[in-house]
Structure 1
Amino acid sequence: MSEEIQMGPDATSADAGLRRGVMGGGELAAQAIANIAPSAVIAFTAAAIYNTATNGTWVSFALATVVILSVGYCISQFAKRRSSAGSLYSYAATALGPFGAYLTGVSLLIGCFGIAAGSLSGSVAYTATLLNQLGIPVHGTVAQIVLAIVLGALATLFTIRGIRLSARVSLVLELVSVSIITLLLVITLVHLGGGAFDADQFELTDVKPSGIVVGMVLAILGFVGFSSSDALAREAKDPYRAVPRAIMWSAAGVGVLYVFAAYTQVAALGPALGSSAQPLDDIATLVGMPTWFNPILNFGVAASFFAVVVAPLNVVGRILYVMGKEGVVSPAIGRTHPTHLTPHRALVSVGPLVIAVPVVMYLFGADPMNVVTWVDTYGTYGYMVAYAAAALAAVVFLRGINARVPLVWPAAGVAIVSMAYVFYANVYPVPAYPLNVIPWLFIATVAAALAWYWLLSRRSPHVISAIGTSEVETLEGIG
């Protein structure tokens, strides 16, 4: 097998560049899993899905896993052949041209930014709960703002200090949180004894297929950000193998965890799950866990939310870094820290904005968990567009290089149709305020970004032609 490494146009840049060959497979998987935040999803999503899917909640998660693996399979076709810091932005450039790459990149930036800002509010909410349980009074808007600033600043600092540090922080926090929740779920099944075998769930008693499909929408949203390790390819060891594995195995592993968690929560709480505000706390009480366990449980969820602030910030920093090198945004953004070799200027620019979103909403009286729902929804629209574009780009890309990968066609079909349905299901029937405004906010953001693209095309056409081409290495000769 012959290999030819083709360097992007930035190869001779004076910029120190990103650190090379420091990320192992486990650290890449940590980035992907941290961006998903499975502990935070388990804490809420199964309860919401139960209201439509009932005993088929676990099936909604299982089918959502298939959809996400289809998206991941399409993205991995690029990751096997291209090493890029631009993530889906650079991938789309190979097949959809500058406009397609720009739209994909902007959508992914919106997705990562929204998830980071929303998750920061989740970390604030659960950190406050934890501190109150430990006897440290944390109440009111001022306390929420202080927590948001402290936690947001810490997340930004970790991303600037080094990719290995931020990945390891995310890995440790997610391992702790997932371990705590998994322990609770296993204890729950033991506590249920013979009731651990829930025949109604296996037989799908009183389950409507339409309810499972509606539940899939929320289940799919529980995976957003799963492919984020592709933005670290330039910093990875053996990226052409490690990144595709991280994408696929993290999605599959989290999918299995979701199915197990959904089944156990339904078996334990039954119909009460649909109305539970904190199902994990309710389960801990049901099985008789000691009083000291709830603070540990809330620490795990707070840690999971914090990890998902760090992970998408890493992606945002690298996409903006690539855009800066290409002149799409200020060239000053396209520089790395001389010591840490991280895109510090991009991170310093975005970090305060991530903090500002929940802070402003707190000043208007918003509850931190409502902020999570609203801002995460805004971010999710970005991910849906980026994933659909990446799936389409994979088909065009493979056809262009005459690579025969028969499964990519059905995978792309599943991915595009599913993303379109998820988008549709979130806007119709029209949800209550303020969720009904969020799609228009997303569209307005994209429209503003497209106006900048139009301006660049008139003023700096050479910038448009270079979109998605920098910070890329291509491994040729792989069929």
Structure 2
Amino acid sequence: MTSTPTPAVGGANELQRRLGVPDAVMIGLGSMIGAGIFTSLAPAARAASSGLLIGLAVAAVVAYCNATSSARLAALYPASGGTYVYGRERLGAFWGYLAGWAFIVGKTASCAAMALTVGSYIWPGQAHAIAVAAVVALTAVNYTGMQKSALLTRVIVAVVLAVLTAVAVACLTSGAVDTARLDVGPDATLGGVLQAAGLLFFAFAGYARIATLGEEVKDPARTIPRAIPIALGITLVVYMAVAVSVLLVLGPGGLATTDAPLTDAARAAGADWLTPVVRVGAAVAALGSLLALILGVSRTTLAMARDHHLPHALAAVHPKFKVPHRAELLVGAVVATAAATTDLRGAIGFSSFGVLAYYAIANASAWTLPPAQGRPARIIPALGLAGCLALAFALPASSVISGAVVLAVGAAAYGLRQLAKAN
């Protein structure tokens, strides 16, 4: 464990710092205000029933702790890789590796799921083909530089916010509103609320993208601690407004049984004209999430390749565009292949398990910071760590088992590589 930041990699392999606070906030919003709000409300309602809003609040508290810990660490270690770097520097090489492994595997599955979401909304009969086309297009955008990615993210965030606002206003001003639907009944159990929080965490997890892009942020010690809480705060307000408005017209039971909660809420509110708008909004939101996910996974791949946990050739940075072009192309190829051959729309729980493991390591890393290096109040990383573990193991059993197996495979690979080095 070290107590001082590792210097950024210099020369041809150094990324260029181009992102200010507005761009960083937009990338965080593009990651969070994405397809998660369109897809996670229904399974969360099935788990928590009338305790859905409590589950959302629990997810928000854990996300706030994670965001605070990540922001302090990112300001101290402004390099690509996020918690992979923090775990390596604060806890040791194995924990950094495990965080990076959990992030890459979980978020690669999420990339494919978001691509398939785009396809299912734009052209359901050709969802796989549209998904592959979306991955190829966004990989090309990312390849040509961060500024283009940030600009596209601004457009996507604006469209999605407009759609969500329209749905919330239509619901709240309709005659279908029944405030009794917000009451918490005996059907809201602790286990159900925690499982819902774990599923809803999937929709909050995008603020990590700001930290994983730390090497491309201008004045990271100032920008990252400002951008992460701003993006998280805006997202929480939007999610709470949408969840309340949808519950008011559908109720917990109606929300739990729908495959398209925002579309059904618009219909229940008598705003049938919003249905195609919501479909477009969901597709655009999924595109925004996919864009930011590819950015984050490629940067973590870059960081792990620099340390030879992945092939070192993936650490190359394009001399003109200043992006990790080989890592981006590999991630794009893997995601496109998965999107073409597999239906991963049920991967929310699996992704949440991996991301919660990733943030557990971030909170443990933040705990080790001395006050002079900006350690948050100890209660924040402690609550974040406990919350991550509780939510991870409250997820559906299939998600816990598959997530644990993936982490075990990664740990075994690390151990074998260490044995090979020793011999």
* Residue identity in the other structure for 1:204: V
> Which structure is larger by alpha-carbon Rg, 1 or 2?
1
Q: Is 2:239 aligned against 1:258?
A: yes
Contact 1:65/1:252, CA 8 A, preserved across alignment: no
Matched, 1:27 2:23: yes
Q: Distance in 1 between matches of 2:244 and 2:79?
A: 38
Unaligned runs of 5+ in 2: none
Query: Are 2:15 and 2:317, in contact at CA under 8 Å, matched by a contact in 1?
Result: yes
Corresponding residue number in structure 2 for 1:84? 79
Q: How far did 1:206 drift? A: 4.9
Cα gap change, 1:148 to 1:173, in 2 (>3 Å): same
Secondary structure of 2:152's counterpart equals: helix
Which of 131, 141, 146 is residue 129 of structure 2 equivalent to?
A: 146
1:91, 1:165 → 2: CA distance?
A: 28
8 Å CA contact 2:301, 2:314 repeated in 1: yes
1:191 pairs, out of 168, 174, 179, with 174
**Aligned partners of 1:167 and 1:311 also within 8 Å:** no
C-alpha contact 2:119 2:129 (8 A) present in aligned 1? no
CA distance in structure 2 between the aligned counterparts of 1:411 and 1:322, rounded to whole angstroms: 27
Contact between 1:23 and 1:237, CA under 8 Å: does it hold in 2? Answer: yes
For structure 1, the residue ranges without an aligned partner over 5 or more in a row are 130-138, 362-367, 431-435, 462-479
Structure 1 residues 116 and 406, CA gap change in structure 2 (3 angstroms): closer
> TM-score under structure 1 normalisation?
0.80
**Contact preservation (8 Å) 2:69, 2:376:** no
1:272 matched to 2:254? The reply is yes
Q: CA contact under 8 A between 2:194 and 2:390: conserved in structure 1?
A: no
Q: Is the 8 A contact 1:59 1:259 kept in 2?
A: no
Q: CA deviation at 1:444?
A: 4.2
Once residues 172 and 41 of structure 1 are traced to their aligned partners in structure 2, the CA distance between those partners, rounded to angstroms, is 18
The match for 1:40 among 23, 35, 39 is 35
Question: Structure 1 residues 152 and 423 mapped into 2: Cα distance closer, same or farther (>3 Å)?
Answer: same
Could you give the per-residue CA deviations for residues 25-79 of structure 1, whole angstroms, max 9, x where no partner exists? 121122222222x342332333333334344322221222111101111112212
1:53 to 41, 48, 56: 48
Aligned to 1:166: 149
Residues 1:88 and 1:404: Cα distance change in structure 2 (over 3 Å): closer
Task: State the number of aligned residues.
Answer: 417
**Larger deviation: 282-291 or 235-244?**
282-291
Q: CA deviation at 1:127?
A: 1.4
Is the Cα–Cα contact under 8 Å of residues 34 and 203 in structure 2 kept in the other structure? no
TM-fit CA distance, 1:422: 1.9
1:112 and 1:379 in contact (8 A); partners too: yes
Q: Structure 1, residues 55-107: CA drift from partner, whole Å, max 9, x if none? A: 43222212221111011111122123221112111111221011111111111
Q: Which one of 320, 335, 352 corresponds to residue 333 of structure 2?
A: 352
How many angstroms apart in 2 are the aligned matches of 1:406 and 1:309? 31
Alignment partner for residue 113 of structure 1, among 104, 108, 114? 108
Instruction: Report the AA paired with residue 19 of structure 1.
Output: Q
Larger RCO (CA under 8 A, 6+ residues apart): 1
One of 139, 147, 157 as aligned partner of 2:140: 157
Between the aligned partners of 1:169 and 1:319, the Cα distance in structure 2 is 21
Asked if the contact 2:5/2:89 (under 8 Å) is kept, the reply is no
Which residue does the alignment assign to 1:372?
345
Q: CA deviation at 1:189?
A: 1.0
Structure 1 contact 45–218 (Cα < 8 Å) conserved: yes
Are residues 1:70 and 2:69 paired? no
**Cα distance in 2, alignment partners of residues 19 and 264 from structure 1:** 42
| Cα gap change, 1:6 to 1:442, in 2 (>3 Å) | closer
Map of 1:208 onto structure 2: 188
Secondary structure at the counterpart of residue 175 of structure 2: helix
CA contact (8 A) 1:95 1:393 kept: yes
Identity across the alignment (%) = 22
Q: Is 2:72–2:374's contact at 8 Å kept on the other side of the alignment?
A: no
Q: CA 1:377/1:209 → structure 2, altered by over 3 Å: closer, same or farther?
A: closer
1:391-406 pair list within 5 angstroms? 391-396=363-368, 398-399=369-370, 403=373, 405=375
Distance 1:284 1:406, change over 3 A: closer
The alignment's TM-score, normalised by the length of structure 2, stands at: 0.90
Deviation by residue 1:285-325 (Cα, 9 ceiling, x = unmatched): 2333354x322221110111111111121112112222222
Please, what is the CA RMSD of the aligned residues?
A: 2.5
Distance in 2, matches of 1:169 and 1:122, equals: 19
Deviations 1:409-430 (A, max 9, x none): 2212221222212221225xx4
| CA distance in 2 between partners of 1:456 and 1:52 (Å) | 41
